[in-house]
Chains A and B, each alone.
Chain A
Amino acid sequence: EPEVTQTPSHQVTQMGQEVILRCVPISNHLYFYWYRQILGQKVEFLVSFYNNEISEKSEIFDDQFSVERPDGSNFTLKIRSTKLEDSAMYFCASSPGTSVYNEQFFGPGTRLTVL
Chain B
Amino acid sequence: DAKTTQPTSMDCAEGRAANLPCNHSTISGNEYVYWYRQIHSQGPQYIIHGLKNNETNEMASLIITEDRKSSTLILPHATLRDTAVYYCTLTGSNDYKLSFGAGTTVTVRA
Binding site for B on A (CB under 8 A): 4, 31, 33, 35, 37, 42-45, 48, 50, 55-56, 58, 89, 91, 93, 95, 100-101, 103-109
Q: Is the CB of A108 within 8 A of B101?
A: no
Identify the B interface with A (CB < 8 A): 2, 32, 34, 38, 41-46, 49, 87, 91, 93-103
- Most chain B CB inside 10 Å of its own CB: which residue of A33, A58, A106, A107: A106
Q: How far is the CB of B42 from chain A (nearest CB, A)?
A: 6
Whether A31 touches B96, Cβ cut-off 8 Å, given contacts A42-B101, A43-B38, A100-B91, is yes
Contact yes or no, B102 A107, CB < 8 A = no
Mostly helix, strand, loop or mixed at chain A's interface? strand
B46 touches A105 (CB 8 A): yes
Which residues does chain A contribute within 8 Å of B34, judged by CB atoms?
A: 103
- When the two chains form their complex, are residues B44 and A106 in contact, meaning their CB atoms are under 8 A apart? yes
Chain B residues in 8 Å Cβ range of A48? 96-97
Given A105-B46, A109-B42: 4 more A-B contacts, CB < 8 Å:
A4-B43, A44-B100, A95-B96, A101-B49
Q: Which residues of B contact A42 (CB under 8 A)?
A: 2, 100-103
In the complex where A101-B32, A101-B49, A103-B49 touch, is A45 in contact with B98 (Cβ < 8 A)?
yes
Residues of A within 8 A of B46 (CB): 103-105
Question: With a CB–CB cut-off of 8 A, which chain A residues contact B93?
Answer: 100
Q: Is the CB of A107 within 8 A of B91?
A: no
